[in-house]
Structure 1
Amino acid sequence: MPRIRNWKDLAFYRPTKRTEYVHIDALFGEPGRNVIDFDLIESQFRHLMRVAVSVREGAISSTLLLRRLRAGSRKNATYTAFREVGRVMRTVQLLRYLSDAPLRRRVTAATNKVEAFNGFSQWIGFGNGGVITDNDPVEQEKTAKFNALLTNAVIFHNALDIAEIVRQLQEEGHVIDSEDLAHISPYLTEHIRRFGEYSTHELGIQPEAYDPKLNVDFTQLRGHEPAASGFDTAA
């Protein structure tokens, strides 16, 4: 569930014209308006299920489906029924988001992680100001995938460095708490020299085996919500 923005532009829909709420009725606008047409959904239910199964089984792409449904959309009962279903789902999700504080924290944490990764990926792909100048879709896809590969390689490198530092601190007698590690982000850039010297003479050197284990008890983090930035597993 993505972070919800521009609340003032979102409409809440009532199940019936007569439905009223004691504390949140203002969210649904004027009484009698913004009402879900459940009769239409019921009458088109078989068509909705047929379309859903076709998309799931790959018989038709979602892009082609939307193109067909939008053709004369106001006259297309199936399109209108899908719109009503979407309004139901969005209203339910909006109400859940408003009433469930832990859900809001999870959504915010997940969104922050995604935004942090995207920002880090853009920082890595600094060539041409991050703009893909090739018009060939194949080359565009290559550029995006190469950038993702390089981004994940740098993240892995950062995780290795973090793990090594943790081990050094433990050898010096420091107690490392899992809660502290949960707030450490692998999207570190200060030590990365994007414009530095690129040496290739070490490419043939076999690296040491990767040790994913840390002598830190992460079990206490289970059941807790993830930190807004960083990672909560062993580096």
Structure 2
Amino acid sequence: MYRAFREVGRAVRNIVLLRYLSDPVLREQISRATNKAEAYNGFTEWLHFGSHGYLRSCDPELQEKAIKFLDAVASSVIFSTTIDMTEQLRQMATEGWTILGENLTVISPHRCDDVLRFGDYDTTTLHIPPGTYDAAFAPHQP
């Protein structure tokens, strides 16, 4: 049974490799997905400034906690950056700038240049809910 499944796995792997080599659209999709994952991994590595990103403990439970905490921090930073980018795009739209969908596809919320990893953060306004979404100020897609 093991040998049969091994051979089926090899056949499936070869079929996928042949499809990958012969289909440029598939290669582009895989490259795009890989680049997104690598951008996120590089961003979380940049955020994980303690111990140069290495997990210090060999305890699986502590490692899981550290990874979950890093994911929560990364998600929070990405969310905050996305809100800032959206506000800037809305401001540009109200000023008369034309915002095209293809231009939005090249910007990323995995930005490091505006994030203060060691800065002072004001938490006194966290209880204030954000304003309601107004579709009139949303960037339009062509």
Q: TM-score, normalization: structure 1?
A: 0.56
- Call closer, same or farther: CA 1:174–1:149 in 2, change over 3 Å: same
Deviation at 1:135? 2.4
Q: 1:128 aligns with which of 30, 51, 57?
A: 51
Could you say which residue in structure 2 is the equivalent of 1:206?
128
The CA distance in 2 between the partners of 1:83 and 1:135, in whole Å, is 33
Structure 1 residue ranges without an equivalent (≥5): 1-77, 221-235
The CA distance in 1 between the partners of 2:94 and 2:37, in whole Å, is 34
**Paired amino acid for 1:113:** K
Structure 2 residue ranges without an equivalent (≥5): none
After TM superposition, the structure 1 = structure 2 runs for residues 1-235 of structure 1, keeping only pairs within 5 Å, are 78-200=1-123, 202-209=124-131, 211=133, 214-217=138-141
Deviation at 1:203? 5.0
Deviation at 1:216? 1.4
The CA distance in 2 between the partners of 1:94 and 1:136, in whole Å, is 38
Structure of greater relative contact order (alpha carbons < 8 Å, 6+ residues apart): 2
Partners of 2:81 and 2:109 within 8 A in 1: yes
- Call closer, same or farther: CA 1:176–1:204 in 2, change over 3 Å: closer
Deviation at 1:83? 1.0
- Call closer, same or farther: CA 1:174–1:204 in 2, change over 3 Å: closer
**Paired amino acid for 1:109:** R
**Paired amino acid for 1:174:** W
**Paired amino acid for 1:208:** P
Give SS of 2:96's match.
coil
Structure whose CA Rg is larger: 1
Q: TM-score, normalization: structure 2?
A: 0.91
Deviation at 1:215? 3.3
Partners of 2:89 and 2:139 within 8 A in 1: no
Post-superposition Cα deviations, 1:175-196, rounded to whole Å, max 9, x if no partner, equal: 1000000111110110111122
> As a proportion of its length, which structure holds more helix?
2
